[in-house]
Structure 1
Amino acid sequence: MRKILGLLAFIFLFSCNSSGEDVIMNSVNNKWGKKQEQKFNLEISDPQNPKNIIFVVRNNNEYPYSNIRFIVNFTNLQNKKKDVDTLNYVLAKPNGEWLGTGFGDTKEIFFQYKLNYKFPEKGKYEIGVIQAMRNDNLPGIEDLGVKIETAKP
């Protein structure tokens, strides 16, 4: 019994997130409306260290396409400067098999947004994401998130 408890404690300690990563997830409840901007608020305390900004998408078999398009509003809340990007990411192979990881119907996949990005100053930032697909209500997307990690040199 002690060996099992020791092993569980070991797994718990090493599975904790200690590598400078933050993940913010929003649930879109399998029906992402075209006008429902998903907002992610960031607090940057160490702008001298470059960051990787990564989108996290969880989709299921109800999603009707092999790709997803985003319109991203990246705003520095200190000076209100806004950058707008239109992005296209692939969710499935040509044969229809979903990319990403996961068991069952739900798959999770990571998409690079900004790599080695150096925030201009510390403070608050906002990332707003709008789905830019043809559907007014996009089925099959369960969650959307943003992962911020310290870039490795």
Structure 2
Amino acid sequence: MILKKMNLNNMIFGSFCYLIFIFFSCSDKNSIVEYKNFNYGWESNDKAKFMIPTISGEMANLIIHIRNNNSYAFSNIFLIASIEVEGKLFSRDTLEYELADSKGEWLGDGFTEVKESRLWWKEDFIIPEGEKIYAVIEHAVRSNGIENGIENLEGIIGVGLSIKTENKNQ
């Protein structure tokens, strides 16, 4: 009994140390990350909208983050990702990303049922001039042979966007 309690305490302490290590090693002064979480899957009409801060003219890498669990029934995901400046469409991309390998193993990071995949969207993107700049992400997943998209994408529990700017002074 005492041995089990010591092992549990060691596991908790080890997990805490690991989380602290990850937190400090992954922080980046030039990186912004924002998430939109979904309680019951990603509805087809639920667009994830992220404000891009006014860092006009700087080069940035835009990375989409997808969090999924084992309820996600597909090995890939189709997304429509757009940049809007002052309410007008600036760019739109249709993207496909693999979330699982050919054996069905998730490619994302994570130790539990939840996996997170970081998916490159735009590299060395020059952020356009404007006061209100938004990135808008929606899913475009369809079942094979069916024209209409899937209404609720079960197993997708969150989508995020990270913006990593190039620091020219380094």
TM-score, normalized by length of structure 2? Answer: 0.75
Deviation, structure 1 residue 48: 3.6
Deviation, structure 1 residue 30: 3.9
List per-residue Cα deviations over 1:101-138 (Å, max 9, x = no partner).
10110001100000011113253211111110122110
Match of 1:140 among 145, 148, 155: 155
Which stretch has the larger CA shift, 15-24 or 32-41? 15-24
State how many pairs are aligned.
Answer: 143
Structure with the higher strand share, 1 or 2:
1
Deviation, structure 1 residue 15: 4.4
CA distance in 1, matches of 2:66, 2:22: 25
- Partner of 2:13 in structure 1? none
- Partner of 2:10 in structure 1? none
Q: Per the alignment, in what secondary structure is the counterpart of residue 148 of structure 1?
A: strand
Match of 1:94 among 96, 102, 110: 102
Work out whether residues 74 and 128 of structure 1, in 8 Å CA contact, stay in contact via their aligned partners in 2. yes
CA distance in 1, matches of 2:92, 2:109: 29
Which has the higher relative contact order, 1 or 2, with Cα contacts under 8 A spaced 6 or more apart?
1
Work out whether residues 55 and 111 of structure 1, in 8 Å CA contact, stay in contact via their aligned partners in 2. yes
The amino acid across from 2:121 in the alignment is Y
Within-5 A mapping of 1:1-153: 14-15=24-25, 17-45=27-55, 47-77=56-86, 80-121=88-129, 123-134=131-142, 135-151=150-166
TM-score, normalized by length of structure 1? Answer: 0.83
Q: Per the alignment, in what secondary structure is the counterpart of residue 36 of structure 2?
A: strand
Q: Per the alignment, in what secondary structure is the counterpart of residue 132 of structure 2?
A: strand
Segments of 5+ residues of structure 2 without an aligned counterpart are: 1-16, 143-149
Segments of 5+ residues of structure 1 without an aligned counterpart are: 1-7
Deviation, structure 1 residue 28: 1.6
Backbone CA RMSD of aligned residues: 2.4
Work out whether residues 29 and 141 of structure 1, in 8 Å CA contact, stay in contact via their aligned partners in 2. no
Question: Measured at CA, do residues 109 and 16 of structure 1 come closer, stay the same or move farther in structure 2, by a change above 3 Å?
Answer: closer
Deviation, structure 1 residue 57: 0.7
The amino acid across from 1:58 in the alignment is R
Structure with the higher helix share, 1 or 2:
2
